[in-house]
Amino acid sequence: MTTHFITAEIDLTESPVAMHQTIEAELAQQGEPLRWAVTEVDVDQQKAVVEAIVTVGERQEA
């Protein structure tokens, strides 16, 4: 299993719940999110930048 630092640009939505779901879906395409944060918001462009740490790869069972 490896970890990766990624950034994603997300469209702002009116609903915080919908935005949270959009962020999680976008990050899931890159791997399993360990943590993420909205680090920048562009109100004029209606975009948010999300930075995340994701894991990629299979877990090894002991």
Q: β-strands 2-11, 32-42: how paired?
A: unpaired
Overall average pLDDT of the 25-43 stretch: 95
Contact status, residue 12 vs residue 41, Cβ threshold 8 Å: yes
Q: Provide the pLDDT for residue 14.
A: 79
Contact status, residue 34 vs residue 55, Cβ threshold 8 Å: yes
Overall average pLDDT of the 23-39 stretch: 95
Please name which of 62, 10, 4, 60 lies closest in space to residue 33, comparing C-alpha atoms. 4
Residue 55 pLDDT greater than 60, yes or no: yes
Residue 31 pLDDT greater than 80, yes or no: yes
Q: Provide the pLDDT for residue 59.
A: 61
Residues in CB range of 37: below 8 A, 6 or more apart: 50, 51, 52
